[in-house]
Structure 1
Amino acid sequence: MRPGRAEPAPPRPRPGTGTVTISFAGPDRAWAAWIGDRLRRRGVRVDRRRWDPPAGVPLAGLLSGLRTAGPVLMVLSAPYFEAGGRTRDEWERALRDIAAADPSGFAAVSVTSVPVPAATAALRPVDLTALGAEEAERRLLARLDLPADPLPERVDDVRYPASRPDVWGLVPRHNPRFTGREALLAAAHRLLRDAGRVTLHGMSGVGKTQMATEYVYRFGPEYDVVWWVHAESRATCRRRLAELAPALGLRTGEEYGMRVRAVRDALRRGEPYSRWLLVLDGADEPDQIHDLLPAGPGHVLVTSRNPDWAEHGSELLEVPVYTREESVAFVRRRAPRLSGPEADQLAEALGDLPLLLDQTAGWLDESDLPVGEYLALLEAGTADDVLRVSADFPLAYRTAWTILLESLRAAVPESVDLLRLCTFFAPGHVPVHLLRKLPREGLPPSVARLLTDPALWAAAVDQLRRYSVVRVEPHEADPAREVLYLHRVVHGFVRAELPEDTARELADVVRRALAAADPGKPSSPALWPAYAEIVPHLKHAQVLASEDPGVQRLVLNCLRYLYLSGEYAAGGKLGGRAMDAWRALLGESHPRIWELTYHYANLLRAVGDYDRTMRIERAAADHLRRQRGERDPAYLRALGGLAADLRGLGRYAEALEMSERVLTAYRERLGEDDTATVNARNNVAVSLRLLGRYEDACRLNSATLAARRALLGDRHPWTLNSEHAYALDLRLLGRYGEATAVQEPSLRVVRETLGPDTVQALRAQHNLAMCRYAARDLDDAGRYFADALERAVHILGDRDPLTLILAVGQSCFAREHGDAERARALSAAVVAAYEETLSPDHPYAVGARANHALALHRAGDPRGALELARAARAG
């Protein structure tokens, strides 16, 4: 209800109208809800009944059972007439006997363009397809002889089913052959309404994605935002969430982390939309992505093979294989030439598995092979072969796949070539458009022929699509590009049957395609979508086994992208595998090893693994010094990384000495104003500040800020970093007015340029809060402290290093201004976090214990405070 506006009283029931019974098939639930809402708002009593006729009961009797004191309104669609497996003749007879005999008792609306039984003419159905909401409502009311007076506006109106939500993100095409699952869909709807998060889990091939797709189309009108996320990896999940930011109209920069944080915050607050649905499809690794999921008023629907989602606050709903009734109904829709008993036999042989039923029934419908002969072929398969591939599936699965592949090969041989090629991408969404950009020189003849003949390519794709081996879907960024969806089960079976020499040949083709797609500039956020598309496929294309310099350059660029985009864990795994593979392939001292070391160390350092990073960087620096000398750029880069490791370990004096050596070398080699020299000067200032030499750090940061403004401009992220560093030094020197004069306008620019929820914005806001506090502007300071900490917890989590810094500030403010218990709780949590993530004797942990001693004293525990203060002083 809008503020200041009273909700209109519901109309009184219309005398003599009776109850209108709306009879609808499950897929048409949204139409039934909208029709019911239109009628109720005009005072008409409504009874909605889902049409799910049981087998063996005469259709005429079921239709008669719908009739009560008022009319029956039938919502006509293909699923309505297909429910219960009734024939067209049965419908014709029942409609003539019941509806035609009682013209005032039955009415209908049509929501389908598919031909319906001729006898429905007796119902005088009103066609609602291809109409706007107002005209559809006018025709509905006219059919039921109800006045169409305009109604007062209402905020919570049920959405018109033919209109999509305001934001609609890459939902797969609707499957017109979807069958059954009515109870599961209803349960998912109920659980999402009650709990907000539901995971559809079950074995591969059981139809989890299809069920999620059906849920979206059936219940989508209840939402303002529906966003589909391919969640096979953290990288792809982050990319899709980041792409939601502009769709929601959020003003952020280009960096993915910034966009993801803004999206999570907007969804949590329910602004600009509170009715949202996120679908995370194929999310089999909850530990990697659960922290990306937003809280808030909307819903999250997950599909996964992994029931561990229950540990992350999601309700589980298991998706089993089809019931036999569902299997038979599905097979008969997919292969109309099969009789009921034949469909039953096929379902029995294939274990009621939806994926296999879809593929097999599609092939059988176009084949003249008798079902009995096909079942005999399945019986001839050997159990050992099947179990070697997967113990999860019916024993006939491998045999069924062999038959299907032979059929594909006989009809369009190139379809098998394309299918095999796809298995050297990751399962799921296969960016085949990358293949079509490849130079043809050096390609295997079968692949070259496929890629050079558009008609042959189209025939191969169509053949795979017709048998449901792949789905054809639009590209996320460019619908004109082609993407094939390949189920992980199909991927595994096809890959397993490849001869070794063929596998090597096809892997090389896909590696070349990925390398050719490398934009070559991972530091540019505008190019990150291209890297996000490439990264999931590196493993399956076996890129680490290649000696091709272009492929190796791709690996290094992907590592840089993963670091800059905040994908530290994924980057660390790739970097570790690359180190092992390249040392064996290239040798310990190959130049590419040292370049790889730089990227790998950056990723390890980003997650706080300073000991390990220091060992790697020290070994690299020692080798490069001996081999290339102390003025070599690779050696200086390794030395700068080693200084950063020492800072992380709290060894500030050693870090300063090393940073100064790097700065001197860059000055002598490149001059005072080169960006490498300026960056080295920035790192020296960091060490100076950590040692308490604020005056020296301030002078150096002032020069660095001036140089970055001249080299990079006023709005570059590095320039904004220097403004923050300079303002921080001024504050630590007690020059609060000057610090505020620098930090306040800089914070505005950071928020405008990079976004309000970025790490840089939160750091700047914290420093401004400290400046306000020092100037005794307590109201502003308290507001800044609280807001920054709340944002950090929601965006970064409660153990992130920046969150801990902000928690210290909030604790100190609370301690001095009347909330001693909150101060004590916050400082205790900070101490525990620092001791666990760093070490008990790290300077940060020591400082946190000193702050906690003050909090204990203020909270009335002088003995505990004295004991902790002594320990902190010793530290």
Structure 2
Amino acid sequence: MTVAGGVKGPATELSQGLIDALVRIPITSTTQNRRLLISLVRRDFSRYPDVQELPESRLHIINIVVACLEHPAALWALRDALTTMAPDEAGTRRACQLIDSAGLSSLVPEDELRQCRELIRQAGNGHDRVDWQELVENVAPHVLGKSSDLVSAFDQLAVIGPGQGRSLPALTFVAGVTTSVGEPVAGHLRTWLQEQIERFGVSGDELLLPSDPLPDAANGLPPEGDGRDRINMGAGAAHDVPIAGILGESDKPGISDGQPDDEQTGDTGDNMVSAAPTKPPARRLPRVWGDVPPRNPNFTGREELLSRLHKELLTVREAAVLPQALHGMGGVGKSQLAIEYVHRHSSEYDLVWWISAEQNILVLSSLVKLAQRLGLDVSPEANSAVPAVQDALNTGKIEYERWLLVFDNAESIEEVRPYFPTGGAGKILVTSRNPEWAGVARALEVDVFTREESKAFLTNRTPELTDNDADRLAEALGDLPLAVEQAASWRAATGMPVDEYLGLLDEKRIELLDDTSAPDYQKNSVAAAWNVSLDRLDKVNRSALHLLQVCSFFSPEPISREFFRGSAVSPITDPLDQTLRDSVKLGRAIRDIQRFALAKLNHQNNTLQIHRLIQTVIVGRMDESQRELMRAGAHALLASANPHSPGRHSRWGVYQSLLPHVQASGAVESTDPNVMDLVFETVQFLFHWGDHPGCLEFAENAYKNWLAKLGESHAEVLKLAKYLGWIRSVVGRYKAAVEIFERSLDLYMDQFGEEDENTLDAMLMVAYARRIQGDFAGAKEVDERAHPICHRLFGEDDPVTLRAANSLGVSLRLTGEFKRAAELDQKTHSRRQEVLGSDDSDTLLTLNNLIIDTRESGEFVKASRQQGEALERSLTAFQYPDNPTVMRASRNLAVARRKAGDHTGALELSLDTVERYRRRYGDDYPDTMSASLNLAIDQRHAGNLDEARTLGEETLQRYRSTLGEQHPHTVAAQVNLAIVVRQLGDAQRAYRSDRESLDALNEQLGADHPSTLTCATNLASDLFAMGDAQAAFDHDTDTLARSERILGVEHPSTLAVGVNLALDLRALGREQEADLLHADNMARFRRSLGDQHPATLNALKSLRADCDIDPMPL
């Protein structure tokens, strides 16, 4: 199961380049010098955050660079600090070169660059090159000849750095455009500029190229008159406009506060558009402002609710954060009330983050995005980023103390509440149709409009409407804001007289009442109002109605317009198929849908959104055959948008936008091959992205549906079954995983034979299943059967063969055949380097395995050095310390350090690694358990016996619960714990535990297995501690003979038994033999581990050696 890496963008290249450059500077190798570097950076940039010091210098440097990239002005401070501390170093010159050449495209997220491009495109629509060429010429003359329009000019400028200053040509260019175009584009550009200035952390004037200021033009706004209908970018337009002028507030009503788009978004929850003038824009946006929908320019009423909500959120409570909930039926405007509150009070918060919460995937996606925005030192996988965000908000580890999280459409309390921060000084606001929130939160109920609010809304949209007519319409529509908004849009679009419209409503109401098949929710005037519009849309643009019908099977979350580009993978209806092939027709269809208020178009996000109530009415109008057709059409559109790359980080955003609609449309029920491909790749995406519980749930649902419709022998069902088994094992459902692995192999063998590629892959999964069951010999038998077949059929360089070789190496290692495993792993690593590249995750996996072979073969010092290099390579390839490949290397390095004698370094790294595993996967994940077991050993070596015992007991219990009492890894945990028990003074209890463990290992692995020998070594020490030197001698002599034969005379474990045996002899009065054996062992220890290794020093002090077992990966 390979996790593919993402494509490197400019920001990644800058980050990696800086990290590599700083690592090359000799002074950065010491903690003291890195601290000095940070101090110098902070002198020039006071907002530079605290940077966590990590055991490895490269990890510390990564944190320094990431913190600089969060506030790019810190990069310039870093440049100055480096030239002060190490001006002549090649690494300094390289770092300065990278910083000086870093343009906007390296320093600003891609989605924000796209937003700016769209605004600039709007600014330049319909204008000739002559209108803007002087602006470009003043900023960067050499770009002019390469630019065909404003957007291409911006793109050219975005890659140009500030040189040795701080002024970015692209920002100066945007500032010039801002002062020269009309509203609303200028307002959106001002907002965008303000966000960049906050990101950079310096004054706006520092970011603009120096020149003479422009004359003040109405506080940065264009002059009245025809100036707002044309671009005027003549001489001086690129000059240094005071930033306060560019970003000055607009006095014009209807300009959204801090919003990048003047289009009204649709149903982010309950969507209503209201009609009173907006409140004045807030003077300051929060420093972090994420995914907040645009403010309604005509919000109506709700003043009492807004006041009560503000009072509740202002209340300070000493206990854990208690959410504030807005609940009410669909269509009453809960979300719009929250949006208005957030915009009205934005200046009172440092961080505001809007989270669509109806589906788990939406919450995870939003919190991952927040982690990236906060610059947390975590990878973009959900199981890494989400716990990090919660921890940062809970503990105040971020600089944004006053935060507000809005969970919109949070219908399931049980699913959403685990994502709430429980500490910190922030606030949580929830919108929901679920009234049960009143039982767990401070709640306000949102009802329909008052009659006066309904009338105000209607008369503001259509001023010619009389008070009486407005009252009649409001009465007919039940004052439901969403229905009132729909009726107002209808009248604005058609100009139909009120009496005629009310007559249509009555007709539709009668039709609904006569239709006994219509659900109860449709038998009212609200559904009638939408049916009036839907009938009209059918007459005006049938393809638009068909598009709406297809989208009614999607989630009520935003639908990317990218889903509509080109033809679907299979036909839907002739009118819709033609429209999807023609962008002009598609645009017209979407405009017609929007004109009748049946959906909302968000130009900023390029999405279409349909309220759930409208979707319900649309589906209710269709007969069963139409529903089947349109649902299939929805599946076809989703399948067409499948990026077919679930392992690539760069495509995860597409899967995140697809998944809510894949789930809502019931795509798992389709047997169309293209849709099944989408479903399977969605399963893979969820795994790679780190939502393992969500992945399991989705995969189980898909498997159940496919199994019922296609049977267990179908090729696609079998493929999913194998993957489902893998996911079950990842989340600890081992028994269920083994069952499906074994059944899948039987089916593959019956249907395709053992030389089929899928059969061979199933064999490897069964070998993994055997290892899960603790049957290491059985796993080796399966692997030894599969690997030669792969080699013969596909050749030694084929990925299938290499995967089989890696699996066989794992089994050989677990059966204790370290030298044979090392020979195979060496070949596999070389071939994977050649075929996949040095930095591929599978290549690094085999490298880690090879180093474990080296370590377990007794070359502790060499393995520690190699594992340190492997960790460096993994960090270079994957950047984040909590990447699975990096954490695997970190865990192995902690073990290698301990074995090599660096107990302090091992403990430091173990503490960090265990915390990362726990945060990402939880305590019951296999790698968390093995890392915890190693941490318990490190605590024992540090003398922290109570901590070692507590952690050892907890981990042993987890092994028993997940793998069973007799699994070798469970027994290993028991062996390691027994050492602590003896050192705490209870030798008899330790003996009983080791006696039980030795019997189990003899049965499971055999008397000559290295783990069995380790346990036997410790059992003899238990006997010695109990005063039975003769019994200890008897055991040690047997164990030494076996160890010399199996491990070799120079292996440290063999030497440990030799030291103990010498102490047995001395206790028995056999001094001459003891001295001779002890001297020989001391010489070998010095050769193998060195004079200062703790094992050597302990032997010199005549202290008994204890041996531990590392639970190697399965």
TM-score range, shorter chain: 0.7 to 0.9
The answer to whether the aligner puts 1:517 opposite 2:636 as a matched pair is no
Q: Give the Å deviation of 1:792.
A: 2.6
Matches within 5 A, 1:235-246: 235-244=361-370
AA matched with 2:482: L
Residue matched to 1:595: 719
The correspondence for 1:831, drawn from 947, 952, 956, is 956
Gaps spanning 5+ residues in structure 2: where? 1-38, 47-217, 225-240, 252-280, 1001-1114
Matches within 5 A, 1:341-740: 350=477, 352-363=479-490, 366-370=495-499, 389=519, 395-409=524-538, 413-438=542-567, 442-451=571-580, 456-474=585-603, 479=605, 482-544=606-668, 546-740=670-864
Q: Give the Å deviation of 1:193.
A: 8.3
Residue matched to 2:359: 233
Q: Give the Å deviation of 1:399.
A: 3.3
**1:151-172, CA deviations, whole angstroms, 9 ceiling, x for partnerless residues?**
xxxxxxxxx9455445443332
**1:631-670, CA deviations, whole angstroms, 9 ceiling, x for partnerless residues?**
1111101111111122222222212211221112112222
1:234/1:662 CA distance change after superposition, 3 Å: farther
Q: Distance in 1 between matches of 2:956 and 2:475?
A: 61
1:135/1:188 CA distance change after superposition, 3 Å: farther
**1:586-637, CA deviations, whole angstroms, 9 ceiling, x for partnerless residues?**
4543333333333333333322323223222222222322332221111101
Q: Distance in 2 between matches of 1:135 and 1:519?
A: 40
1:452/1:779 CA distance change after superposition, 3 Å: closer
Of 229-238 and 788-797, the range deviating more from structure 2? 229-238
Q: Distance in 1 between matches of 2:921 and 2:987?
A: 34
AA matched with 1:282: N
AA matched with 2:484: L
The TM-score normalised by the length of structure 1 is 0.73
Q: Give the Å deviation of 1:856.
A: 5.2
**1:114-153, CA deviations, whole angstroms, 9 ceiling, x for partnerless residues?**
x9xxxxxxxxxxxxxx99658999999xxxxxxxxxxxxx
Q: Give the Å deviation of 1:741.
A: 0.9
**1:245-285, CA deviations, whole angstroms, 9 ceiling, x for partnerless residues?**
55445677676655656666666664475555444433434
AA matched with 2:655: Y
Q: Give the Å deviation of 1:784.
A: 1.4
Q: Give the Å deviation of 1:495.
A: 1.4
Q: Is the contact between residue 780 and residue 808 of structure 2 (CA under 8 Å) also seen in structure 1? A: yes
Q: Distance in 2 between matches of 1:572 and 1:799?
A: 16
Q: Distance in 1 between matches of 2:961 and 2:733?
A: 13
Q: Distance in 2 between matches of 1:161 and 1:134?
A: 17
Q: Distance in 2 between matches of 1:384 and 1:836?
A: 60
**1:653-693, CA deviations, whole angstroms, 9 ceiling, x for partnerless residues?**
21221122111211222222322222212112222333343
Q: Distance in 2 between matches of 1:284 and 1:550?
A: 32
Residue matched to 1:157: none
Matches within 5 A, 1:790-805: 790-805=915-930
**Percent identity of paired positions between Structure 1 and Structure 2:** 30
Q: Distance in 2 between matches of 1:846 and 1:346?
A: 76
Residue matched to 1:124: none
Q: Distance in 2 between matches of 1:835 and 1:440?
A: 49
Q: Distance in 1 between matches of 2:806 and 2:570?
A: 49
Q: Distance in 2 between matches of 1:712 and 1:138?
A: 55
Q: Is the contact between residue 749 and residue 759 of structure 2 (CA under 8 Å) also seen in structure 1? A: yes
**1:329-365, CA deviations, whole angstroms, 9 ceiling, x for partnerless residues?**
5555455555667666665665554333332444356
SS of the residue corresponding to residue 437 of structure 1 reads coil
Residue matched to 1:33: none
1:187/1:498 CA distance change after superposition, 3 Å: farther
Q: Distance in 1 between matches of 2:685 and 2:510?
A: 51
Residue matched to 1:153: none
AA matched with 2:685: Y
Q: Is the contact between residue 265 and residue 794 of structure 1 (CA under 8 Å) also seen in structure 2? A: no
Residue matched to 2:271: none
1:132/1:217 CA distance change after superposition, 3 Å: farther
AA matched with 1:419: L
Q: Distance in 1 between matches of 2:787 and 2:402?
A: 54
Q: Give the Å deviation of 1:307.
A: 6.8
SS of the residue corresponding to residue 759 of structure 2 reads helix
The correspondence for 1:766, drawn from 867, 891, 905, is 891
Higher strand share: 1
**1:568-598, CA deviations, whole angstroms, 9 ceiling, x for partnerless residues?**
3333344334434434544543333333333
Q: Give the Å deviation of 1:738.
A: 1.0
Of 211-220 and 279-288, the range deviating more from structure 2? 279-288
SS of the residue corresponding to residue 519 of structure 1 reads coil
The correspondence for 2:334, drawn from 205, 208, 212, is 208
Q: Give the Å deviation of 1:800.
A: 2.7
Q: Is the contact between residue 239 and residue 532 of structure 1 (CA under 8 Å) also seen in structure 2? A: yes
Report how many residues are paired.
730
Q: Distance in 1 between matches of 2:770 and 2:846?
A: 21
Residue matched to 1:817: 942
Q: Is the contact between residue 836 and residue 843 of structure 2 (CA under 8 Å) also seen in structure 1? A: yes
The correspondence for 1:324, drawn from 450, 465, 482, is 450
1:854/1:570 CA distance change after superposition, 3 Å: same
Q: Is the contact between residue 669 and residue 702 of structure 2 (CA under 8 Å) also seen in structure 1? A: no
Q: Is the contact between residue 378 and residue 388 of structure 2 (CA under 8 Å) also seen in structure 1? A: yes
AA matched with 1:172: P
Q: Give the Å deviation of 1:559.
A: 2.9
AA matched with 1:234: N
The answer to whether the aligner puts 1:176 opposite 2:297 as a matched pair is yes
Q: Is the contact between residue 265 and residue 795 of structure 1 (CA under 8 Å) also seen in structure 2? A: no
Q: Distance in 1 between matches of 2:438 and 2:887?
A: 32
Gaps spanning 5+ residues in structure 1: where? 8-108, 116-129, 141-159
Q: Give the Å deviation of 1:871.
A: 5.2
The answer to whether the aligner puts 1:220 opposite 2:346 as a matched pair is yes
Q: Distance in 2 between matches of 1:818 and 1:252?
A: 32
**1:412-459, CA deviations, whole angstroms, 9 ceiling, x for partnerless residues?**
555433321211322211224322311699452331354356555444
Q: Distance in 2 between matches of 1:543 and 1:469?
A: 24
Residue matched to 2:94: none
Residue matched to 1:780: 905
Q: Give the Å deviation of 1:731.
A: 3.0
SS of the residue corresponding to residue 428 of structure 1 reads coil
1:631/1:200 CA distance change after superposition, 3 Å: same
Matches within 5 A, 1:140-179: 161-178=282-299, 179=301
Q: Distance in 2 between matches of 1:310 and 1:748?
A: 51
Q: Distance in 1 between matches of 2:340 and 2:615?
A: 24
Q: Distance in 1 between matches of 2:638 and 2:282?
A: 42
Matches within 5 A, 1:94-133: 133=244
SS of the residue corresponding to residue 518 of structure 1 reads coil
The answer to whether the aligner puts 1:845 opposite 2:970 as a matched pair is yes
AA matched with 1:526: S
Of 606-615 and 357-366, the range deviating more from structure 2? 357-366
**1:837-864, CA deviations, whole angstroms, 9 ceiling, x for partnerless residues?**
4434443334334444555555677787
Of 294-303 and 596-605, the range deviating more from structure 2? 294-303
